[in-house]
Structure 1
Amino acid sequence: MALLLYKLGKFSAKHRWSVIAVWLVLLLGVGASAAAFHGQMSNNFQIPGTETQRVLDKLKNDLPSSAGGSAGIVFQSEAGFSAEQQTAVAKALKDLAAKDYVQATVDPFSQQKQLDDAAAQLSNGEKQIDAAKKQLEAASNQLEAGKVQLAQLKLTLEQAVPPNPPALVAQYQAGKAQQDAAEAKLAAGQAQLSAKQAALAEGKKKLATSEGLRFVSDDHKVAIAQVQFKVSLYSLEVSDRQQVQDIVNQVTGSGVKVFYDKEITQDVSQIFGTAEVVGVVIAAIVLLIMLGTLIAAGLPLLMAIIGVGIGVGGTFALTGAIEMSSISPMLALMLGLAVGIDYSLFIVNRHRQQILAGMEIRESVAKATGTSGNAVLFAGLTVVIALAALSVTGLPFLAILGIAAAATVAIAVLVALTLTPAVLSLIGQRIVSKRAWRKAQAAIDSENAAADAEQHAEDSRASGAHAEPAKSGKGWVGPQPRGSHAEPAKSGKGWGGLVTRHPVLTLVTSVIALGLIALPAMNLRLALPDGGAEPVDSSAYQAYELTGKNFGEGRNGPIVVVGDLPAGLSAEQAQQKQADVATELRQIKNVKVAIPVALSDDRKTAVFQVIPAEGPASASTVQVVSDIRADGGNIKGATGVQIGLTGQTAANVDVSNKLGEALPPYLAIVVGLSLILLLLVFRSILVPLLATGGFLLSLAASFGGVVAVYQWGWLGSFFDVHNPGAVLSFLPIILIGVLFGLAMDYQVFITSGMRESFAHGESAKRAVRSGFSHAARVVVAAAIIMASVFAGFIFSHLTMIRPLGFALAFGVLLDAFVVRMTIIPAAMYLLGKAAWWTPRWLDRILPDVDVEGAKVVALHEAAAEREQQQDPDEKPELVESRS
């Protein structure tokens, strides 16, 4: 593979303009495609096959008017809503309801009036019933008194002499008729009272379904309106979202403040903000410090931008045909920038070292591509494997996300292996600063002088003259070949020397430190973000806070329940069933409100809205979703209605559960495939195991940091975490894939240097130090660059990406500096030659991928030896080119 990449680098250097032209045409073509064919991104994380999706599909067929998305609009009047302000709000909502993408709007003031009127009517009804009871009681008492009088009259009539006097008979008959009439009236009154009592009971039952539900706050200063759309919120155009705000914002002229749910305000069309630019600027500064010139520092940045332009542009071009979450291009951008800079940096740094040693430009480009480029290829391959493996989780949005990011990383590798050599050939010796040239020329001059002195001494000895031992014994003063006595002395200094001098202490301390950082990960709780995670000054956060404070936190995340009613019900019976189901739902723990909201024309499908006690991402709400599903059988037994759950809150719970189930097999696949790849690269059993074990340590520590900051709120003011809560549900699976790939990047670059030294004849322990010293500087720069790019996303305008940016930045720093540059060299120093052990049978069947580029080095050394044999008196010389 190294020889193939060597030839590729040589080809790219030789045909530089053609290679540059091909990449430019590709960049322009992808850009044009993105502009012409891009569609709308969304944050729809629903998964086919889940209950929420099945119930939503049923709702679309049975009750389409309730299948669209809904969002809240919060109105605030600090002095309380006046009649003028209420009229303005009603007009704005009516105008909004006229739009073709809106199904209906709910005027909070009219709804609250209906609730208040219903309560007042029931109160009046109770008073009327109490009065009627008193009247009937008085009538009953009168009737009883009349019965006594009539009985006495009858007794008198029976005892009269002569019997049955006409006057008494007439009196008795009149009293009897009056008594019968009173009894009939009392019976009618009692029947009427029973009817009123039944109506009152039914009214109370209906009112109980909305108990705790308000649309206007108790102090009359905050009102919440609901907008029902005809399509899902993820399908709502950005222009429509803006139009919603433009229409409703008209009420601000009357002194009303307006705040919108994040479903209305979110705009995922922009993926690059100020914070991300800051991260790239920091990376540029690191490059400038390391490489010394604007040209050299700008080259890796330019390569990364071209790779990202093609990768992310291609992703955008596909959004018109594929439903894609907003995090897909964001992750592709994040990774493309980070690995694009690093991969080009590795090749550029190797090329600079070689031309400073006097190597010809094109030959140096080819050799750098064959050596460092070989490591780039295999490092990039681990990242691609880890990301592409997201497609086996069975989660469509995650598969698209992984493939988009993997494709962008693959393009970054191709750019590094082809376009970087072409541009390096074009730049020539200007890739190195004048100061570096002068320093290198001085070293070569010293080398030439030493060679002249040694040659003179040899000539003197040959002619019988006696050279001065002190002078002739001064030895080599120029750059020494690897494996000489100067190299170990140099490699024994610095961090690598310190780590290998105290390997046991280093290992124990590092592992304990990572273990302590990882402790908070034991309390990891996953959910999708809600409005409470938005920036404090955002409209979405203000709406979330006002809603929670005035109407209860659960109002921010209602649960939609869909019921299958028995066939053949009358309208009254269907309403009774709805009330019965709502009553059953209210019995579930932490359910604050359960109300019927819709009924299909055929009275077979009913929709209920359940408002939990706490917010949508809270642990209690997750439990409410589970409890409702668990109680479904009891509800069907009591009411005959089969229920199912849908809506964003239930969908978020399903997504989090599915992601949790997908984590173990995904981790096994990624680790298994990468172990095989590392086995091929290093031809060792222990090196891949060490690499994987170190990754698991850094992964656990990364989770610990995320939980401490985003779930517990530690350093929340610094990281702008004002409302700590559950961690983004798909962060763990993405972090596993991305961090594993990036960790293997540094493993390849650090360990390939050790392998190269070992392959060139150094002892195993000395190879650890010398290999580390050769790779450490560039790996440190690469890790700082990558962490800087990721850190820029910690303050992204898209809050969903913030914890992911933190996790990746923190994970890269821990993995690069604690694991790859501390634990790995210490462990390999302790293992010694055993680190490179492979069973003979396995060594025979493994292909030789030559990641350290030994064949390229041998080819170059053979060519140099032939050239020296042709002209043995030629001495190295540097010629600075300013062309």
Structure 2
Amino acid sequence: MSHFLYRIGNFAGRHPWRVIAAWIFVAGAVFMLNSSQGGEYDESFSLPGSESQRAADAIEDRFPQETLYSSNVIFHSDNGLTDPATKAAIEQAVEQLTEGEHVVAVSSPYDPRGPTVSEDGQTAFATVAFDIEKVGIEELDAAEEAVQDVRDAGIQVEYDGGLGYADLPAGGNSELIGVLLAVVILAVAFGSLVAMSLPIGTALLAIVVGSSGIGIMAGVVAVPKITGIVAMMLGLGVGIDYALFILTRHRQNLAAGQSVPVAIGRANATAGLSVLFAGVTVMVAILGLKLSGIPMMEKMGYGSAIMVAVVMLASITLLPAILGVVKHRVNSARVPFVKQKPVDNPDAASAKWAARVVAKPLRYGGAAAVVLGILAIPVFSMHLGFADAGNDAPDTTTRKSYDLMAEGYGAGINGPLQVVLDADGATIPSGAIERISTALASEPGVASVDPPSTNEAGDIAIISVVPTTSPQDAETGELLEQIREDTIPAALDGTGVEASVTGNTALTEDVSSRLQDRMPLFLGAVIGLSFLLLMVVFRSVLVPLKAAALNVLGVGAAYGVIVAVFQWGWFANLIGVHESVPIMPLAPMLMFAILFGLSMDYEVFLMSRVREQYRKHFDPRRAVVEGVGSTARVITCAALIMIGVFSSFMLDVDVTTKMFGLGLAVAVLLDVTLIRMVLVPAAMSLLGHRAWWLPAWLERRLPSIDIEGGAYDGEELPVLEPVADEPEREAALV
């Protein structure tokens, strides 16, 4: 592989415009194909095979009028809403609401068939049904005009659902902030505006191609919006980082007196090979989301893998071509007041620090492990759930409507359970409906049971159950389990009617249960495949085992920080989160896939240099110090870029985007400090020569891969013999 990468880099350095023209052609073709055949992101969520999904599908197929897209318009006054003048104003507003372009029906709060005025008479709501899924600003403007007279009368009017989120501000351009941070970091690191621009330019062009590829995929299958967000995070982070590693090695080669094509080829054969295996590791981890059994997560895995693959290919093909164009001008346009330091500096502070850790591994490694363990403690109180209007900022109309509904009708009104009765084509017996309604109403934790709604065929009925607790309350989940496991089977025994429960609370519980069941398989596959890949790369059993263990510890600490900030509310206001937020059910598995893959990036870059040094003199501790000293500066620079990119997404208005941005940024920070600079040197020091042990029978069966790229020009590296006696080897090295 190193031979192949050397030839690619050398060819690109000698014929740069051919490669650049090919990339521009591909980018243009993919962009135009996306413009003509690409699709929009799909915000729908499904969980095939779950009870809640089966019930929702039955409603949509056989009771479509119950699936109309609707929003509530909430009216509130401390003086009450029952006097004639107030009733007249609200009824006039309801009549005007029906005149909206996409409005198909509006229910009156005073309709005797189903009044919605609260018991204290201070709150009421009208339900507006639309014939479109996405309610826009035009519909909101029409509603505002309709209720203006009510507002002028001193009555508070708020919206939930589509109307409430119609004027939600856009997420902004968080990625631009990440790019600006990368510009500053690279300018300081390289001290050259030309060198600074190369990784960013390469990554941005690759992101255009990758984003267009995801758009084309969206034209074929349903792709959730968060796929684009996660892919953009990864594309910016790893794209700039991968180009940075290759560019750094290329500049070292130029400084050593190599010609431009040779320097590019050797950089591609060494750092480029590390990039290739790091990228493949990230893709393996992300594609493991296929095992989640959730279509939304599968699409996120596919989209993110597309982006990583494109930026990885751009780093080993497009970047070498650009380097061939700039030639020795790569260090030109110097940044004033920035003093350059050699990357390979044995006297660097990082090398001195590594020497201290290697000398006392138990002290430093133990302290780092304790810190990560403490950070991971909040994980044990993690509560999974989808954020709802109750987690919105207090000054938003959706949050105000949520609070008004909870105060007027009880906390459970914001998350009712829907019990769906299905007679499989036959008419549902009225006695069965009465029995289940009575049983549900008598269940502790149920505030009210609405009258059943039956379709025209009479073979499906919906009973809405309002709990006494809020949707995110643990008691609501317990009520759901009780209804599913005991109440429904007992009430419908012998009736021939089947019942299932759906609704947001039921969907959340089903998602959590699905992920909990699939998590062991997912973890085993991701960790196992990464272990095998690293074992092939490093010809070792203990190095990949150490990497897997430390990465899991780092991811656990990142989980803990997420729980402390979003669920416990620690410092949440600093990132624009005003209320306690449950952890999105998809977040743990998705974050593990991303973080495990990214942490393997730094593992490959660091350990490939440690192995390279070890194979020169077979001194394990010295190799660790030299490896850390030669890679710490560039890894730190790469990590700062990735932290900046991920942190910029915390400025987004969407709380889920904030959650991923913070989690990824914290994980990278912990990885590049406590793990890469403390735990890895400590562990390698304790392992000594054993770190590079590989059974002879396994050695013969594994393919040979030269991760250091030392054989790209025909120079063969010495074969590492297994160590028979650790004390004798260490004594020989003294």
Equivalent residue number for residue 143 of structure 2: 248
Is residue 90 of structure 1 aligned with residue 91 of structure 2? no
List per-residue Cα deviations over 1:311-343 (Å, max 9, x = no partner): 122212332331121111111111111100100
CA distance in 2, matches of 1:245, 1:598: 29
Q: CA deviation at 1:829?
A: 1.8
Could you say if the C-alpha distance between residues 637 and 830 of structure 1 is closer, same or farther in structure 2, counting changes exceeding 3 Å?
closer
Could you say if the C-alpha distance between residues 641 and 614 of structure 1 is closer, same or farther in structure 2, counting changes exceeding 3 Å?
same
Instruction: Please tell me the residue identity of whatever aligns with 1:94.
Output: T
CA distance in 1, matches of 2:613, 2:53: 57
Equivalent residue number for residue 62 of structure 1: 62
Is residue 218 of structure 1 aligned with residue 76 of structure 2? no
Instruction: Please tell me the residue identity of whatever aligns with 2:460.
Output: T
CA distance in 2, matches of 1:685, 1:342: 27
Could you say if the C-alpha distance between residues 533 and 13 of structure 1 is closer, same or farther in structure 2, counting changes exceeding 3 Å?
farther
Contact between 1:93 and 1:106, CA under 8 Å: does it hold in 2? no
SS at the partner of 1:797? coil
Q: CA deviation at 1:267?
A: 7.4
CA distance in 1, matches of 2:551, 2:260: 38
Is residue 337 of structure 1 aligned with residue 228 of structure 2? no
SS at the partner of 1:651? helix
Q: CA deviation at 1:229?
A: 4.9
List per-residue Cα deviations over 1:621-670 (Å, max 9, x = no partner): 22222121112111214977532112333222212221221111100000
Equivalent residue number for residue 288 of structure 2: 389
Q: How is 1:437-476 mapped onto 2 (pairs within 5 angstroms)?
A: none
Contact between 1:702 and 1:807, CA under 8 Å: does it hold in 2? yes
Q: CA deviation at 1:384?
A: 0.3
774-783 or 20-29: bigger deviation:
20-29
Equivalent residue number for residue 105 of structure 1: 106
Contact between 1:535 and 1:799, CA under 8 Å: does it hold in 2? no
SS at the partner of 1:588? coil
CA distance in 2, matches of 1:567, 1:756: 70
Which has the larger helix fraction?
A: 1
Contact between 1:46 and 1:655, CA under 8 Å: does it hold in 2? no
Equivalent residue number for residue 323 of structure 2: 424
List per-residue Cα deviations over 1:86-108 (Å, max 9, x = no partner): 13421233224x73xx5533222
List per-residue Cα deviations over 1:788-827 (Å, max 9, x = no partner): 1111122312222221221111111112211122101111
Q: CA deviation at 1:77?
A: 5.6
CA distance in 2, matches of 1:215, 1:852: 74
Is residue 707 of structure 1 aligned with residue 563 of structure 2? yes
Contact between 1:765 and 1:833, CA under 8 Å: does it hold in 2? no
- Among 668, 683, 699, the residue aligned to 1:812: 668
Contact between 2:140 and 2:166, CA under 8 Å: does it hold in 1? no
Contact between 1:596 and 1:606, CA under 8 Å: does it hold in 2? no
Contact between 1:527 and 1:652, CA under 8 Å: does it hold in 2? yes
Could you say if the C-alpha distance between residues 756 and 392 of structure 1 is closer, same or farther in structure 2, counting changes exceeding 3 Å?
same
Could you say if the C-alpha distance between residues 70 and 577 of structure 1 is closer, same or farther in structure 2, counting changes exceeding 3 Å?
farther
Contact between 1:93 and 1:107, CA under 8 Å: does it hold in 2? no
SS at the partner of 1:510? helix
Equivalent residue number for residue 399 of structure 2: 541
Q: How is 1:157-306 mapped onto 2 (pairs within 5 angstroms)?
A: 214-216=116-118, 218=120, 220=122, 222-229=123-130, 236-237=133-134, 240-256=135-151, 258-264=157-163, 266=165, 273-306=172-205
CA distance in 2, matches of 1:740, 1:20: 33
326-335 or 539-548: bigger deviation:
539-548
CA distance in 1, matches of 2:637, 2:191: 13
Is residue 600 of structure 1 aligned with residue 455 of structure 2? yes
Instruction: Please tell me the residue identity of whatever aligns with 1:544.
Output: Y
Equivalent residue number for residue 73 of structure 1: 73
SS at the partner of 1:284? helix
SS at the partner of 1:378? helix
- Among 533, 542, 551, the residue aligned to 2:409: 551
SS at the partner of 1:856? coil
Equivalent residue number for residue 44 of structure 1: 44
Q: CA deviation at 1:271?
A: 8.2
- Among 483, 487, 506, the residue aligned to 1:628: 483
Could you say if the C-alpha distance between residues 418 and 254 of structure 1 is closer, same or farther in structure 2, counting changes exceeding 3 Å?
same
Q: CA deviation at 1:290?
A: 0.6
SS at the partner of 2:515? helix
CA distance in 1, matches of 2:144, 2:31: 36
- Among 420, 425, 433, the residue aligned to 1:562: 420
TM-score when scaled to structure 1?
Answer: 0.75
Q: CA deviation at 1:393?
A: 2.5
Q: How is 1:681-720 mapped onto 2 (pairs within 5 angstroms)?
A: 681-720=537-576
SS at the partner of 1:560? strand
Q: CA deviation at 1:599?
A: 1.4
Equivalent residue number for residue 444 of structure 2: 589
Equivalent residue number for residue 398 of structure 1: 297
Equivalent residue number for residue 662 of structure 1: 518
CA distance in 1, matches of 2:313, 2:170: 24
Instruction: Please tell me the residue identity of whatever aligns with 2:467.
Output: P
CA distance in 2, matches of 1:752, 1:32: 40
CA distance in 1, matches of 2:325, 2:224: 40
CA distance in 1, matches of 2:217, 2:166: 18
Structure 2 residue runs of 5 or longer lacking an equivalent are: 718-734
Q: CA deviation at 1:279?
A: 2.8
CA distance in 1, matches of 2:164, 2:338: 58
CA distance in 2, matches of 1:296, 1:104: 62
Is residue 617 of structure 1 aligned with residue 472 of structure 2? yes
Contact between 1:491 and 1:770, CA under 8 Å: does it hold in 2? no
SS at the partner of 1:854? coil
Could you say if the C-alpha distance between residues 11 and 217 of structure 1 is closer, same or farther in structure 2, counting changes exceeding 3 Å?
farther
Could you say if the C-alpha distance between residues 766 and 245 of structure 1 is closer, same or farther in structure 2, counting changes exceeding 3 Å?
same
* Paired residues, number: 708
Could you say if the C-alpha distance between residues 107 and 806 of structure 1 is closer, same or farther in structure 2, counting changes exceeding 3 Å?
same
Instruction: Please tell me the residue identity of whatever aligns with 2:89.
Output: Q
Instruction: Please tell me the residue identity of whatever aligns with 1:845.
Output: R
Contact between 2:90 and 2:150, CA under 8 Å: does it hold in 1? no
CA distance in 2, matches of 1:270, 1:28: 31
Could you say if the C-alpha distance between residues 858 and 496 of structure 1 is closer, same or farther in structure 2, counting changes exceeding 3 Å?
farther
CA distance in 1, matches of 2:285, 2:46: 23
Is residue 364 of structure 1 aligned with residue 364 of structure 2? no
SS at the partner of 1:855? coil
CA distance in 2, matches of 1:683, 1:561: 57
Identity among equivalent pairs (%): 33
CA distance in 2, matches of 1:857, 1:762: 23
Q: CA deviation at 1:581?
A: 2.9
Over the residues paired in the alignment, what is the CA RMSD in angstroms? 3.1
Structure 1 residue runs of 5 or longer lacking an equivalent are: 117-213, 444-478, 862-883
Could you say if the C-alpha distance between residues 848 and 626 of structure 1 is closer, same or farther in structure 2, counting changes exceeding 3 Å?
same
- Among 360, 378, 381, the residue aligned to 1:520: 378
CA distance in 1, matches of 2:170, 2:148: 33
SS at the partner of 1:57? helix
Q: CA deviation at 1:488?
A: 5.6
Equivalent residue number for residue 678 of structure 1: 534
Equivalent residue number for residue 23 of structure 2: 23
Q: CA deviation at 1:435?
A: 6.0
CA distance in 2, matches of 1:496, 1:267: 54
Equivalent residue number for residue 745 of structure 1: 601
Q: CA deviation at 1:702?
A: 1.1
Equivalent residue number for residue 318 of structure 1: 217
Q: CA deviation at 1:748?
A: 0.4
CA distance in 2, matches of 1:566, 1:752: 62
Equivalent residue number for residue 32 of structure 1: 32
Equivalent residue number for residue 697 of structure 2: 841
TM-score when scaled to structure 2?
Answer: 0.90
Q: CA deviation at 1:252?
A: 4.4
CA distance in 2, matches of 1:338, 1:216: 52
518-527 or 73-82: bigger deviation:
73-82
650-659 or 330-339: bigger deviation:
650-659
CA distance in 2, matches of 1:31, 1:332: 17
Q: CA deviation at 1:227?
A: 3.4
List per-residue Cα deviations over 1:579-605 (Å, max 9, x = no partner): 543222122222212112521223332
